[in-house]
Amino acid sequence: MNLFDVYPLYNITPVKALDCTITDENGVEYLDLYSGHGVISIGHTQPDYVAKLKNQLDNIGFYSNAIQNPLQVELAAKLGKLSDCEEYSLFLCSSGAEANENALKVASFHNGKSRVIAFDNSFHGRTSAAVAVTDNKKIVAPINAQQIVTFLPLNNLDLVETELKKGDVCTVIIEGIQGVGGLDEGTTEFFQGIEKLCNQYEVVLILDEVQSGYGRSGKFFAFQHHNIKPDIICLAKGMGNGFPIGGIMISPKFTASYGLLGTTFGGSHLACAAGIAVLDVIENQKLMNNANEVYAYFLEAIKQVPEIVKVKGKGLMLGVEFDFDVSALRKKMIVEKHIFTGSANNKNLLRILPPLTIKKEAIATFIVALKESLAELK
Ligand code: PLP
């Protein structure tokens, strides 16, 4: 049987990985500045993480959510503490799209409405009930028939208020920092404004931190740069360092009831072991501090590259923007310089999303390779 061919592939086959280095089948080493779409938070094959997963697998990997699982309780407690969101409750699932779907469900059950406000270039997943994908304003993923999604530009509070005033809006969903769309983000005034409007019009504010969460922005959640408290926070990607785990953190204003949400795989013993190991490493190795330090270094070092028009994002969720399509540059960086970076819907943007363990030396290596590549492409 062939694979259903939906991904354009580079001709590279990784067989091993350690921290920020990926080795292919020919023994060639690559610097990973992309973390597989921002998934590898604590570094590839981090030893404590591997040991914890192996040990868990030797004991029990999975059972049903209808039976007590103390690892879920431990994960929730650690997550609440490290993220400074102890008053929220945790529902576990297995991916980012599933997290967002569950968030939409909770919101809709809460206020009985269904219209969703999302933002231009947002990305919230690719399942049929996930809210939306825009690619140059074109919706490329189907939307559940019950959900009408209205897209608005970022940072225009008047337009948000006009929609909320109509009385049929269930939720406003927004990424802490846009990932796939190209690293645009709301201003503090905008985040605080939508929080206020959502409270005023009894609309649920969902923060999609699937990509921007788990320390990537230099704070545990990107919205924490803006001093707001969302109603629901969506998690995945960095949460399991490659093990599929997602979740939603739900504010105390929502009441749980049996059967409201459910999942088969979410919160398995193995997933929780991965989640706990990730949080322990983020805390013990002070990876949020590292994200901030490397970010400060990056901002200085990138000044050596005059071709860059703009640096977008925060912490280790970054994009460097040029005034040309970067596909050839990105390809050259991978194939010839052996450095993985990412692309975005904005074709002029190179995305930098390394593991949170990345060192300044690796950024220096990247800058040298970037300068060489730009010169060679001229
Ligand atoms: N939300 C955001 C902000 C994302 O970046 C992504 C994936 O890139 C998703 C949701 C979907 O996550 P998943 O692919 O795990 O379903």
Q: Mind listing the pLDDT tens digit for each residue in 295-334? A: 999 999 999 999 999 999 999 999 999 999 999 999 999 9
Q: Which residues touch 251 (CB under 8 Å, ≥6 apart)?
A: 87, 88, 229, 230, 231, 232
pLDDT above 70: percentage of residues in the chain: 94
Q: Which residues touch 156 (CB under 8 Å, ≥6 apart)?
A: none
Identify the residues whose C-beta falls under 6 Å from ligand 1.
37, 95-97, 100, 123-125, 175, 179-180, 208, 210-211, 236
Q: Which strands, in side-by-side order, build the sheet including 310-314? A: 310-314, 317-321, 349-352
CA of 306 to the centre of ligand 1 (A): 32
User: Looking at this protein, which amino acid is placed at residue 377?
Assistant: L
Mean pLDDT, range 347-376, rounded to an integer: 98
CA of 38 to the centre of ligand 1 (A): 10
Over residues 331-346, the pLDDT tens digits come to 999 999 999 999 998 9
**pLDDT interval class at 129 (50, 70, 90):** very low
3-class DSSP state of 74: helix
Mean pLDDT, range 50-66, rounded to an integer: 96
CB-CB contact of 348 with 325 (8 Å): yes
Give pairs for 310-315: CB < 8 Å, separation 24+.
Answer: 312/182, 312/183, 312/184, 312/185, 312/349, 313/177, 313/183, 313/185, 313/217, 314/177, 314/185, 314/217, 314/218, 314/222, 314/225, 315/215, 315/216, 315/217, 315/218, 315/219, 315/288, 315/291
Atom 13 of ligand 1, residue of closest alpha carbon:
96
Q: Which two tokens stand for residue 341?
A: 């970076």
Element (H, E) at 44: none
**Which structural domains are found in the chain, ordered by start?**
14-46+286-377 (3.90.1150.10), 48-284 (3.40.640.10)
Is pTM beyond 0.85? Reply is: yes
- Alpha-carbon gap, residue 125 to 110, rounded angstroms: 22
Mean pLDDT of the chain: 93
Mean pLDDT, range 87-95, rounded to an integer: 98
Element (H, E) at 83: helix 70-83
- Alpha-carbon gap, residue 171 to 162, rounded angstroms: 14
Atom 7 of ligand 1, residue of closest alpha carbon:
125
Q: Is 301 exposed, middle or buried (0-12, 13-18, 19+ CB in 10 A)?
A: middle
CA of 210 to the centre of ligand 1 (A): 6
CA of 209 to the centre of ligand 1 (A): 9
Q: Which residues pair with 342 in a beta bridge?
A: 351
Q: Which residues touch 347 (CB under 8 Å, ≥6 apart)?
A: 325, 326, 327
Mutate to test the pocket of ligand 1, among 135, 140, 154, 211 (most ligand atoms within 8 A of CB): 211
Mutate to test the pocket of ligand 1, among 100, 124, 223, 234 (most ligand atoms within 8 A of CB): 124
- For β-strands 169-175 and 115-119, DSSP reports them as parallel
pLDDT at 208 (0 to 100): 97
CA of 119 to the centre of ligand 1 (A): 15
Neighbours of 200 (CB within 10 A): 11
Over residues 236-263, the pLDDT tens digits come to 999 999 999 999 999 999 999 998 899 9
CA of 125 to the centre of ligand 1 (A): 5
CA of 234 to the centre of ligand 1 (A): 10
